[in-house]
Structure 1
Amino acid sequence: MVGRVVSRSKKPIGAPPGVLVYPGERKAEPVVMRIFKYDSSTVQEDEWTADQLPEKYARGQTATWIDVTGLHDVETLKRIGDAFSIHPLVLEDILTPGQRAKSEEYEGLLVIVLKDVDFDRTSMVVGINQVTIILGDHFIISFRDRPTDLFEPVRERLRNGRGQIRKRGVDYLAYALVDCIVDKYFRQLEAIGEETDELEEAVTGSPDAVTMQRLHALRREMLVFRKAVWPVREAVGALHRSDNPLITRKTAVYFRDVYDHSVQILDIIETLREVLSGMMDLYLSSVSNRMNETMKVLTIIATIFIPLSFIAGVYGMNFQYMPELRMRWAYPAVLGLMIFVGAGMLWYFRRKKWL
């Protein structure tokens, strides 16, 4: 759990700022760059390599979206940075998976860092994939380490020309990408909510050790989810209030809508955390109540046997002169007395509703 909250960096201690070190394992797969060049009437989809950027990208012409998947090739990342004049500190942030969600301005570029979140109900694990979006003049670049279908709805809108996405500038495309990430949070929270409902039924029924493990795992993953999503409100709010010329006033209104969604998401997260905390208390109370019921039954049994043991002890003493020992009906009488005492105590306990 601590390893997922505190990110581990492979950057050497004391290294100068801007040093690029990939924190993950080495991969043989090449970095994939999917390109969309579009205007109001046409869209061109292609795949480039970093070496092709200088000859194929013409700054300031057609709106261009470069979707980069794979961050393991540091040299490729450097070439992209050189082609678009991306500050080395921004490139370092792209390679640092523990970055908080934020939006910053760097030398004519707008940098947006968000988290793509996936909840797996089978393993009860929240997966985090950092997404960095760089908005420039007539271009936008998105960086991800793992291939996902996160932006497929946006690609389909570009291909089909649905809505305003091809009629507006790249700032509107940036909004569409951010909105896609934030909307996905709702789907993941729905899955967590369904898991919470199932756990609630199990806790209020007959909870067992497996229920406790699932409940603890879900509470732990909610902390990971909250850490990833909590700064999103601030980052999107900064985009809405930004006076950066890269974001027009018409597009800023849409970022306001994403901001409202981020507030709703945080409210849902806090509600789910409170529900899970209440369920944990309910589970512990249920276990304690079951233990108390067991102890009550054992105490009643022991209490019933106290007078019976006393009677048996009295008539089990090895004295020579005990008149009852020579009586013909003494043994059945003592047994009857013990049965009467035991039955009387059971009746009394039931009357007091202790049984």
Structure 2
Amino acid sequence: MAYFSKHYHSPGTAPGTLVSTSPSTRPVSIHLIDYTEENVEEERLASPQECQAYLERDTKTWIQVNGPVNVDTLRTLGDMFNLHDLALEDVLNSGQRPKLELYDDQLFLIAAMPILQDDALEIVQVSLFVGKNYLICLCPLEEDPFEPIRKRMRNPSNKRFASRDIDYLLYALLDLITDSAFPVLEAFGDKLEGMELELLEQPRKQTLSDIHRLKRELLFMRRVLWPQRELLTTLMRVEDPLINPDTLIYYRDCHDHSVQIIELLESFRDMATGMLDIYLSSISQRTNETMRVLTIIATIFIPLTFIVGVYGMNFQNPDSPWAMPELAWYYGYPMVWGLMIAITAGLVWFFKRRGWL
């Protein structure tokens, strides 16, 4: 995971310049849903120019663009829906901070959707343009993450989208984007639980690396999702004709989910920090136990080494009164062995009684 993931133009570039910083050959798909209270119509568009026919209708239109959007597609949509150049530039330069921009007759939002890609955290920038009867959503993922919302719209018994204005569709998209953090946090929670058990049983060097990686991902996720909570707060308080008062209760629910996510992130980050202390304490405890065992072994062998050293001097002059009489004893060798065994047993008993073994 890169520390800096924002794409940007060269310093000095004129504002609103649309130049792709990371061109891609992957295809772009455009999925359009045009709906009223009586009917829901879906189309797969081959080009953004085909959206023009739906602008003249008295319907609500959701245009979903998936894949790495190119400059030509952005310019076509910008000219067709009168989108601001600075907003289009923010769409092209991914890695933007979640935010809300108010224009004369439309809203521009950037939201961050966390996903796990090959067991690694990835933050996907989702850009949304909201007008009176249209919503344009641009997502760089090839697989459409908003299919669950389409299933709800296709359900004839679900009249919430049909009976409400376009701001309810905006809530549904933001709610899915916000709630996408919960599966990621669930995976992080499982990782924390596994690392905690590993720390208590048998910590390894790889465990320390895993903790550092998870802590960095949590910090990165918090840095991105914290302004998203501010985005939802601003959306609840903004006075704009595109946001109906009866839809604010849904935005408040989405904001509550965002608060829960931030709280979970804070808790997980504190747990990861505490695991570093547990790892260091565990390593220190293992070192102390090893040193204690080595000290006990050395303590046991100190008197044995002394006895062997004394009787290894071999002063056997029979005429000297200072000669060692034990060297000439018939049972001298087994006596020394018995003495060493007795000393060893006595030291082991003493250490166990003191709780050192």
Deviations along 1:215-236, one digit per CA (max 9) or x if unpaired, are 3332222223222212111000
RMSD of aligned alpha carbons? 1.9
Q: 1:352 — aligned with what?
A: 354
Query: Is 1:255 aligned to residue 257 of structure 2?
Result: no
> After the TM superposition, which parts of structure 1 deviate over 4 Å for at least 4 consecutive aligned residues?
none
- Partners of 2:303 and 2:26 in 1: CA distance: 81
Length, aligned pairs only: 349
Q: 2:152 — aligned with what?
A: 157
Q: 2:102 — aligned with what?
A: 105
TM-score by length of 2: 0.91
Q: Report the CA distance between 1:28 and its aligned residue.
A: 4.5
Equivalent residue letter for 1:157: R
Change (3 A) 1:83 1:251: same
- Partners of 2:159 and 2:227 in 1: CA distance: 29
Structure 1 unmatched ranges of 5 or more: none
Query: Is 1:42 aligned to residue 44 of structure 2?
Result: no
Query: Is 1:139 aligned to residue 134 of structure 2?
Result: yes
Change (3 A) 1:276 1:163: farther
Query: Is 1:311 aligned to residue 313 of structure 2?
Result: no
Q: 1:94 aligns with which of 91, 95, 106?
A: 91
- Partners of 1:189 and 1:211 in 2: CA distance: 19
Query: Is 1:276 aligned to residue 272 of structure 2?
Result: yes
Q: Report the CA distance between 1:143 and its aligned residue.
A: 0.6
Equivalent pair of 1:59/1:138 in contact (CA under 8 Å): no
Greater shift in the superposed pair: 20-29 or 176-185: 20-29
Greater shift in the superposed pair: 176-185 or 217-226: 217-226
Change (3 A) 1:101 1:8: closer
Q: 2:168 — aligned with what?
A: 172
Equivalent pair of 2:314/2:327 in contact (CA under 8 Å): no
SS in 1 for 2:97: coil
Equivalent positions of 1:18-37 (< 5 A) are: 18-29=16-27, 31-37=28-34
Q: Report the CA distance between 1:280 and its aligned residue.
A: 2.8
- Partners of 1:130 and 1:111 in 2: CA distance: 13
Structure 2 unmatched ranges of 5 or more: 317-322
- Partners of 1:79 and 1:174 in 2: CA distance: 22
Q: 1:9 — aligned with what?
A: 7
Equivalent pair of 2:7/2:21 in contact (CA under 8 Å): yes
Q: 2:319 — aligned with what?
A: none
Equivalent pair of 1:60/1:138 in contact (CA under 8 Å): no
Equivalent pair of 2:8/2:93 in contact (CA under 8 Å): no
Change (3 A) 1:42 1:116: same
Greater shift in the superposed pair: 35-44 or 280-289: 280-289
TM-score by length of 1: 0.92
SS in 1 for 2:160: coil
Q: 2:183 — aligned with what?
A: 187
Equivalent pair of 1:43/1:158 in contact (CA under 8 Å): yes
Query: Is 1:57 aligned to residue 59 of structure 2?
Result: no
Query: Is 1:242 aligned to residue 226 of structure 2?
Result: no
Change (3 A) 1:28 1:269: closer
Q: Report the CA distance between 1:59 and its aligned residue.
A: 5.0
Equivalent residue letter for 2:225: V
